[in-house]
Amino acid sequence: MNAYARRAKYERARQLKIRIAIMIGIMITLILCLVFSIRAFANTDEASVDLSSKQYKSIMIYCNDSVESIAEEYYTPEFSSVKRMEDEIRSINHISPYDELIPGNYLVIPYYNV
């Protein structure tokens, strides 16, 4: 066998190894995708699917309004507690617990659209 034939044989074997490595990589990727998609479907529970979506609206502040009174007025069970809603209103509007609300200004409040 001459040098050219050996070189051609070596190159064919090298290309075959590369093709096999690519095919193994593709198969591993497909298997991982399948495993993770099965796990994702297995974790969805019909009872826990929440069909409501969180939205936001702007409301005007009136005299004697406080974050607590607004949270109580607009509270829905999706927030799990009035305190959680208060905290979210404060966070959205960058209000500390010591800030006073100014009548005539507006607050952004979250609500759930069912």
Same domain (yes/no): 41, 87: no
Residue 63's pLDDT is what? 93
Residues 9 and 26 in one domain: yes
Q: Give residue 83's domain range.
A: 50-113
What integer is the mean pLDDT of 14-30? 94
Instruction: Dump pLDDT digits (tens) for 66-114.
Output: 999 999 999 988 888 999 999 999 999 999 988 889 999 999 999 887 6
Do residue 54 and residue 108 come from a single domain? yes
Give residue 92's pLDDT.
92
Radius of gyration of the chain (CA): 31
Residue 46 predicted with pLDDT over 80: no
Quick count: other Cβ atoms within 10 Å of Cβ 90?
16
Q: What is the pLDDT of residue 2?
A: 82
Residues 42 and 54 in one domain: no
Same domain, 83 and 103: yes
Q: Do 5 and 38 lie in a common domain? A: yes
Q: What does the mean pLDDT of the chain come to?
A: 85
Same domain, 74 and 38: no
**pLDDT band, very low/low/confident/very high, at 39 (cuts 50, 70, 90):** low
24 and 59 share one domain: no
More confident site: 53 or 68: 68
Closest CA to 108 of 75, 52, 54, 60: 60
Q: Is the pLDDT of residue 48 over 90?
A: no
- The DSSP result for 15-68, as a single string, is HHHHHHHHHHHHHHHHHHHHHHHHHHHHH--GGG----EEEEEEEE--TT--HH
| 85 and 104 share one domain | yes
Domain total in the chain: 2
The CATH number of residue 70's host domain is 3.10.350
> Do 34 and 77 share a domain, yes or no?
no
- 71 with 109, same domain: the answer is yes
